[in-house]
């Protein structure tokens, strides 16, 4: 799935967060977005996921304009927000059941079994979400986004709170996902994750700039993060 | 549809899982409210609750006017439950005062009534016993003043008649007019006064005091339980809610699903808590409750109350501040509606304001259902309220979504 963003704008009250964002995510590639805290990375991902409405601009998916808050689109996009989407008073199993109940729920339940094994949820399957550690919570959130077998993954700092083993597990998953033709757009501050991206975009002053390949971390930090 | 049903089942599970903690929290809320109530009642009634005040009247038993006055004062609605007057001889009165059988005694000297009517005003003596508190003194003083006022009114009437006769040059008829007026007032007017005391004053329409307090207790308990639940309700528009919208369950639907699950669990809690209380009350002596099939409809009242509380939390928010505001609002709402104190004891404006709040109506409907009475308008009114609360809640949820960053 190819994603093209053209001149997307977004303001909150008087503050213009995204002035003119244009970037492309190619099919079968992992694209990264970097930028200082509060530069608008999460806002852009929310717009692409369909939970925030852009003030202007256009988003094209496979050359077709994206319709805002279309439930059909939700089925082919997997979004992992920074904030947990789980109901804390319920168990992991119950939460996963909820997200598996959308669309073809029988097929989703099959997918859930595989993902549960891959992300090793078995140990805390019946544990209430409010008693999970940050890392465990993140793993369950990732699984929730993957249940529908999306073709485009939008990940907002996905490796936050994950331990080294699961960070590597996630990278492996992303590699396989893109190898099978899926596209990933992730925002991150993690060096390893940034290094794994085929293309990198930096958001500064509300505008996206492409980071040339092979740029060192020091240069990225000095040029795009300050 | 499958996803909505799944969400509803999970919301139900969430609220059922909260029940034990909610129960404990409600007891805590109840203790706070009881503490406030106890402090308020102590401030008003001092240390003792007033029972019936027994007092003696020492008068010439042969004087019919005195006897009639005593009977009249005793028959007054405002006094008959708290003051019991008995005609005694002076010796009996002093003996009973010493033994504490009577609180006080009014010593009416011979010819006192005649002296009042003639304007001479021989004073009466009041003897007090010991061991009573200030509230009882106030009630007793009120009773004595009532008697005195009656005589003063009679006296004023007679003076007016005297003046009337003098102005018209009918001085010779003064004595005769006074005699007629005395006869008319004391023999006929006092006797017919009961005609003006027909309106029955009750705590709640047609219910006994014990029934009223039982209903009030349940409403207070359940309202606080609802607030404890409210703390665990997701009011803000979070990422989950937005993503559920994206999946086709819109914010209004989410509110309705959550409220439906909440109100269902809440109404079961209501039945669980209220039925044993009402059942026990129905065995008390003066209870008007009758075990009947109509008791099942109580669930609808608890359901409506649940939706009302959920709406309140949705509007005010479930942060500590929001719950605090809800707590104060509920206290005021319940007080004005006569949940803590029967409406008859409230100022008229408050009684009027209480009529337009929902609690008074719910308590009256609860009383009706517990007495085995069912009216289709009651069900209709409850359903209308339900729709109103749901619509207001959905609106509040949408406003929150639109104003969220």
Question: Six-digit token pair at B31?
Answer: 């203790």
Rounded mean pLDDT, A40-52: 86
Distance from CA of B380 to the nearest CA of A (A): 35
Alpha carbon distance B261, B53 (integer Å)? 52
DSSP state of B205: T
Average pLDDT over residues B142-164: 72
Residue B60 tokens read as 């010439």
Structure tokens belonging to residue B130: 């010991």
Q: Which CATH architecture has domain B53-197?
A: 3-Layer(aba) Sandwich (3.40)
Instruction: Supply the pLDDT for residue B391.
Output: 94
Element (H, E) at B18: helix B2-45
Using pLDDT thresholds of 50, 70 and 90, give the confidence band for residue B65.
low
Is the predicted pLDDT of residue B197 greater than 50, yes or no?
no
B195-210 b/e with 16+ CB inside 10 Å = b? eeeeeeeebbeebbeb
What confidence score (pLDDT) does residue A99 get?
86
Chain A interface includes B236 (CB < 8 A): no
The mean pLDDT of B305-328, rounded to a whole number, is: 86
The single-letter DSSP state of residue B206 is T
Cross-chain CB nearest to B405 (options A12, A86, A94): A12
Distance between CA atoms of residues B132 and A40, nearest Å: 75
Show residues of chain A in contact with B247, CB under 8 Å: 71, 74, 102
The nearest alpha carbon in chain A to B243 belongs to A51
Q: Of A96-100, B37-41, B59-63, B243-247, which one has max mean pLDDT? A: A96-100
How confident is the model at residue B37, as a pLDDT? Answer: 60
The closest CB to that of A69, out of B6, B238, B245, belongs to B245
Residue that wins the pLDDT comparison between B10 and B193: B10
**Pick from A66, A51, A45: which is nearest to A201 by CA?**
A45
Within 8 A of B405 by CB-CB distance, chain A residues are 12
- Look at B51 and B215; give whichever has higher pLDDT: B215
Asked if B246 and A71 come within 8 Å (Cβ–Cβ), the reply is yes
**Mutate which of B229, B240, B318, B404 to test chain A, going by most A C-beta atoms within 10 A?**
B240
CB of B269 within 8 A of CB of B222? yes
Q: Of the segments A136-150, B23-37, B245-259, B380-394, which one has the largest average pLDDT value? A: B380-394
Q: Are A179 and A156 in contact (CB under 8 A)?
A: no
Identify from B20, B247, B318 which residue to disrupt to test chain A contact, counting A C-beta atoms within 10 A and taking the largest count: B247
With contacts defined as CB-CB under 8 Å, which chain A residues touch B3? 98, 101-102, 105
DSSP string, B302-346: HHHHHHHHHHHHHHH-SSHHHHHHHHHHHHHHHHHTTSSS-GGGS
How far is it, in rounded angstroms, from Cα B16 to Cα A32? Answer: 43
Write the pLDDT tens digit of every residue in B254-301. Answer: 999 999 999 999 899 888 888 888 888 888 777 788 877 788 888 999
Q: How far is A181 from chain B (nearest CA, A)?
A: 24
Q: Could you tell me the domains of chain A? A: 3-225 (3.40.50.300)
Chain B residues 237-256 with a CB less than 8 Å from chain A = 238-240, 242-243, 245-248
**pLDDT score, position B54:** 76
| Euclidean distance between CA atoms B124 and B140, whole angstroms | 14
Mutation for A interface: B1, B2, B6, most A CBs within 10 A: B6
Residue B48 has pLDDT above 50, yes or no: no
Q: Which residues of A touch B242 (CB under 8 A)?
A: 51
ipTM score: 0.82
Domain boundaries, chain B: 2-39+203-403, 53-197
Collapsing DSSP to helix, strand or coil, A39 comes out as coil
Q: Which of B14, B240, B405 sits opposite A85 (nearest CB)?
A: B240
Mean pLDDT (chain A, rounded): 83
Tokens at residue B115, please?
Answer: 């002296």
Point out the residue among B2, B6, B18 whose CB comes nearest to the CB of A89: B18
User: Sign of the CA dihedral B251, B255, B257, B258?
Assistant: positive
* Residue for token pair 């059988």: B101
- Locate B243 and state its tokens: 């993503």
Give the pLDDT score at B49.
46
pLDDT band at B201 (very low <50, low <70, confident <90, very high): very low
pLDDT, tens only, B227-240:
878 777 777 778 88
| pLDDT of A109 above 80 | yes
| Of A201-210, B9-18, B205-214, the least confident | B205-214
What's the rounded mean pLDDT across residues B115-130? 69
Q: What is the 3-state secondary structure (H, E, C) of B246-308?
A: HCCCCHHHHHHHHHHHHHHHHHHHHHHHHHHHHHHHCCCCCCCCCCCHHHHHHHHHHHHHHHH
Smallest CA-to-CA distance from B247 within A60, A61, A73, A111 is with A73
A90:B243 CB<8 A? no
Query: Distance (Å) from the C-alpha of residue B26 to the closest C-alpha of chain A?
Result: 19
More confident residue, A70 or A98: A98
**What is the tens place of the pLDDT at every residue in A56-93?**
888 888 888 877 655 556 668 888 888 888 888 889 99
* Chain A interface residues (partner B, CB cutoff 8 A): 12, 49-51, 69, 71, 74, 79, 81, 83-87, 89-90, 94, 97-98, 101-102, 105
A207-211 β-sheet, strand order: A64-65, A56-61, A3-12, A15-25, A207-211, A199-204, A30-34, A183-187, A152-156, A77-80
Chain A residues with CB inside 8 Å of B14's CB? 87, 89-90
Strand-pair partners of A77: A152
Lowest mean pLDDT among A109-123, B90-104, B141-155, B183-197: B183-197
Least confident window among A141-150, B70-79, B356-365, B381-390: B70-79
Judging contacts by C-beta atoms under 8 Å, the chain B residues touching residue A43 are none
Which pLDDT tens digit goes with each residue over B349-369?
A: 777 787 778 888 888 888 888
Q: Would you state the pLDDT for residue B228?
A: 79
Of A81, A94, A105, the CB nearest to B10: A94
Which residue from A74, A84, A89 is facing B232, i.e. has the nearest CB? A89
A–B CB contacts, 8 A cutoff, strictly below: 59
pLDDT at B337 over 90: no
Q: What is the pLDDT of residue A174?
A: 85
How far is the C-alpha of A186 from the C-alpha of A171, rounded, in Å? 12
| For range B188-196, the mean pLDDT | 57
Find, in chain A, the residue whose alpha carbon is nearest to that of B12.
A90
In terms of C-beta density within 10 A (0-12 exposed, 13-18 middle, 19 or more buried), how is residue B122 classed?
middle
């Amino acid at each position: 799935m190819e994603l093209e963003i053209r001149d997307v704008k977004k303001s909150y009250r008087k503050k213009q967060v995204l002035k003119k964002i244009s970037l492309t995510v190619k099919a079968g590639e992992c694209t990264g977005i970097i930028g200082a805290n509060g530069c608008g990375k999460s806002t852009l991902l929310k717009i692409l996921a369909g939970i925030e409405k852009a003030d202007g601009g256009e988003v094209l998916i496979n050359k077709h304009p994206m319709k805002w808050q279309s439930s059909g689109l939700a089925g082919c996009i997997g979004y992992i927000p920074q904030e947990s989407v789980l109901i804390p008073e319920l168990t992991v199993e119950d939460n996963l059941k909820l997200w598996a109940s959308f669309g073809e729920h029988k097929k989703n339940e099959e997918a859930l079994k595989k993902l549960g094994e891959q992300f090793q949820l078995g140990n805390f399957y019946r544990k209430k979400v409010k008693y999970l550690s940050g890392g465990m919570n993140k793993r369950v959130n990732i699984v929730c986004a993957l249940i529908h077998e999306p073709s485009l993954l939008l990940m907002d700092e996905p490796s936050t709170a994950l331990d080294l083993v699961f960070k590597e597990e996630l990278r492996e998953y992303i590699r396989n996902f893109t190898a099978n033709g899926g596209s990933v757009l992730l925002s991150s501050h993690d060096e390893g994750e940034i290094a794994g991206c085929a293309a990198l975009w930096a958001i500064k002053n509300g505008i996206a700039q492409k980071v040339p390949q092979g740029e060192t971390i020091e240069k990225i930090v000095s040029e795009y993060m300050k | 549809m499958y996803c909505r049903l799944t969400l509803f089942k999970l919301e139900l599970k969430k609220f059922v899982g909260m029940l034990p903690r909610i129960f404990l929290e409600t007891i805590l809320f109840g203790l706070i409210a009881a503490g406030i109530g106890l402090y308020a009642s102590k401030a008003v009634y001092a240390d003792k609750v007033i029972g019936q005040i027994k007092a003696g009247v020492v008068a010439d038993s042969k004087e019919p006017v005195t006897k009639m006055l005593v009977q009249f004062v005793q028959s007054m609605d405002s006094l008959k439950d708290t003051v019991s007057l008995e005609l005694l001889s002076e010796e009996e009165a002093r003996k009973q005062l010493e033994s504490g059988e009577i609180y006080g005694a009014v010593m009416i000297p011979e010819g006192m009534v005649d002296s009042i009517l003639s304007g001479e005003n021989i004073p009466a003596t009041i003897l007090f016993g010991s061991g009573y508190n200030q509230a009882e003194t106030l009630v007793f003083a009120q009773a004595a003043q009532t008697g005195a006022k009656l005589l003063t009114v009679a006296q004023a009437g007679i003076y007016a008649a005297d003046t009337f006769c003098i102005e018209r040059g009918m001085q010779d008829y003064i004595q005769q007019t006074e005699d007629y007026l005395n006869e008319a007032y004391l023999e006929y007017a006092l006797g017919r006064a009961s005609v003006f005391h027909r309106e029955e004053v009750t705590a709640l329409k047609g219910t006994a005091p014990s029934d009223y307090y039982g209903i009030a207790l349940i409403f207070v308990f359940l309202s606080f339980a609802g607030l404890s639940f409210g703390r665990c309700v997701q009011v803000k528009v979070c990422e989950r809610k937005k993503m559920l919208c994206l999946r086709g369950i819109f914010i209004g639907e989410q509110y309705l699903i959550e409220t439906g699950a909440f109100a269902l669990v809440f109404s079961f809690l209501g039945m669980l808590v209220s039925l044993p209380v009402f059942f026990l009350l129905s065995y008390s002596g003066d209870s008007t409750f009758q075990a009947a099939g109509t008791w099942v409809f109580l669930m609808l009242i608890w359901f409506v109350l649940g939706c009302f509380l959920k709406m309140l939390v949705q509007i005010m928010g479930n942060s500590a501040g929001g719950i605090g505001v809800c707590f104060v609002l509920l206290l005021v709402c319940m007080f004005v509606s006569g949940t803590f104190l029967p409406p008859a004891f409230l100022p008229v404006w408050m009684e009027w304001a209480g009529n337009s709040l929902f609690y008074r109506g719910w308590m009256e409907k609860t009383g009706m259902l517990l007495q085995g009475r069912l009216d289709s308008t009651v069900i209709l009114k409850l359903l209308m309220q339900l729709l109103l609360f749901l619509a207001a809640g959905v609106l509040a949820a949408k406003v929150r979504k639109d104003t969220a960053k």
